[in-house]
């Protein structure tokens, strides 16, 4: 009798999950941004939500849950019900944290990757009044004035890794000024309170084009199409330098496969629309979607890559 009851309960659960997936979504979806409003992650999430909502037939509400280098938002989604109604606007930063400390979630097992949205390289910028017009001059100034130049960081992530990798490869000493997110760090850089910062091209391109910040170099292997006159870090003076990033949508682990697949197919179509493509390219990134399996493999590779990078260059989060 117990076996019969167990099998009946299991059958009912499967039927309920299948029915739920077929009618999904039937209420608003929350898209969690693990950083403050105004940063690159927030901007992309809001651009996506405007088009994703109508495509799914439901409202997609962007909700900012920032703090602890994004880990508050990451952990919130990891522990949310696996029903497709709480999603994460994730970034490559989620694969960097495990290299520095034990986290309250496991990036490899606590999420159901849906798809990447864009690939992006970071951009190193300085305040225009700094007496360094390119990377070689910046490194020369830093070596002549150890720990005098300040750089902002917004927790453990690609902005931190961009400058820490530069410090390690070029053997320079700089002073770290921590912030809670992109927006406050950029505001202080614009105000001259710090000397340099690094973030995605998306989050900095407007200030560069307006002449409010000076671009030093991009971190990928090729120049950004939106900033063709800005060299790569490798071109500008640090051979072998490379660091790329991504943004993508993740659901809690255990989200029904049918829901993950529906989200994937819908988001891929949204990203492929001319308007979304134009917004992404104008922001300095490249549209990039994947299958859930490809995204899962990317996350595994990045966790291994950043762990090795941190170990090989003895990088420490200050």
Round the average pLDDT of the chain to a whole number and report it: 91
- pLDDT for 26: 97
- Closest-CA residue to 224 (of 238, 239, 203, 210): 203
Per-residue confidence band for 1, with pLDDT thresholds at 50, 70 and 90:
low
- pLDDT for 256: 98
Please check whether residue 73 lies inside any domain of the structure.
yes
| 3-state SS record for 111-149 | EEEEEEEEEEEEEEEECCCCCCCCHHHHHHHHHHCCCCC
Q: Are 205 and 227 in contact (CB under 8 A)?
A: yes
Decide: helix, strand or coil at residue 117.
strand
Q: Are 34 and 66 in contact (CB under 8 A)?
A: yes
Please check whether residue 159 lies inside any domain of the structure.
yes
* Rounded-to-integer distance, Cα 161 and Cα 93, Å: 9
Question: What CATH number is associated with residue 173?
Answer: 3.40.190.10
Query: Do residue 42 and residue 130 come from a single domain?
Result: no
pLDDT at residue 109 is higher than 80: yes
pLDDT, greater one: 135 or 313 = 135
Q: Strands 60-64 and 29-33: what pairing?
A: parallel
Q: What pLDDT digit, counting tens, does each position of 139-176 carry? A: 999 999 999 999 999 888 888 899 999 999 999 999 99
Query: Do residue 90 and residue 158 come from a single domain?
Result: no
pLDDT at residue 10 is higher than 70: no
Query: Do residue 44 and residue 87 come from a single domain?
Result: yes
Question: What CATH number is associated with residue 52?
Answer: 3.40.190.150
Query: Do residue 115 and residue 250 come from a single domain?
Result: yes
Domain of residue 170 covers 121-236
Please check whether residue 198 lies inside any domain of the structure.
yes
- pLDDT for 251: 98
Please check whether residue 160 lies inside any domain of the structure.
yes
Question: 13-22, 83-92, 172-181, 240-249: lowest mean pLDDT where?
Answer: 13-22
Please check whether residue 64 lies inside any domain of the structure.
yes
Q: Which of 182, 202, 236 is the last residue before a domain boundary?
A: 236
Q: What is the mean pLDDT of residues 246-275?
A: 98
Please check whether residue 318 lies inside any domain of the structure.
no
pLDDT at residue 182 is higher than 90: no
Whether this prediction's pTM lies above 0.85 is answered by no
Query: Do residue 114 and residue 7 come from a single domain?
Result: yes
Please check whether residue 317 lies inside any domain of the structure.
no
Query: Do residue 109 and residue 154 come from a single domain?
Result: no
């Amino acid at each position: 009798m117990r076996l019969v009851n167990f099998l009946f309960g299991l059958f009912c659960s499967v039927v309920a999950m299948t029915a739920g997936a077929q009618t999904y979504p039937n209420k608003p979806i929350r898209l969690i941004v693990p950083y403050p409003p105004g940063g690159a992650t927030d901007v992309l999430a809001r651009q996506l939500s405007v088009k994703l909502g109508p495509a799914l037939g439901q409202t997609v509400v962007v909700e900012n849950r920032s703090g602890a280098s994004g880990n508050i938002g990451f952990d919130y989604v990891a522990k949310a019900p696996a029903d497709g109604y709480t999603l994460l606007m994730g970034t490559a930063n989620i694969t960097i944290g495990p290299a520095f400390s034990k986290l309250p979630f496991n990036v490899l097992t606590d999420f159901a990757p849906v798809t990447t949205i864009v690939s992006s390289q970071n951009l190193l910028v300085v305040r225009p009044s700094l007496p360094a017009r390119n990377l070689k001059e910046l490194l020369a100034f830093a070596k002549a004035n150890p720990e005098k130049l300040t750089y902002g960081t917004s927790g453990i992530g690609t902005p931190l890794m961009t400058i820490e990798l530069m410090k390690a490869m070029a053997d320079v000493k700089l002073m770290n000024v921590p912030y809670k997110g992109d927006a406050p760090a950029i505001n202080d850089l614009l105000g001259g309170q710090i000397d340099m910062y690094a973030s995605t091209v998306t989050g900095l391109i407007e200030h560069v084009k307006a002449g409010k910040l000076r671009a030093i170099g991009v971190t990928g292997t090729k120049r950004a199409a939106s900033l063709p006159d800005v060299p790569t870090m490798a071109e500008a003076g640090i051979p072998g330098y490379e660091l790329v990033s991504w943004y993508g949508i993740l659901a809690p682990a255990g989200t029904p496969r049918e829901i993950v697949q529906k989200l994937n197919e819908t988001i891929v179509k949204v990203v492929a629309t001319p308007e979304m493509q134009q917004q992404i390219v104008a922001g300095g990134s490249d549209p990039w979607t994947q299958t859930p399996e490809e995204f899962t493999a990317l996350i595994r590779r990045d966790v291994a890559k950043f762990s090795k990078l941190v170990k090989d260059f003895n990088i420490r989060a200050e």
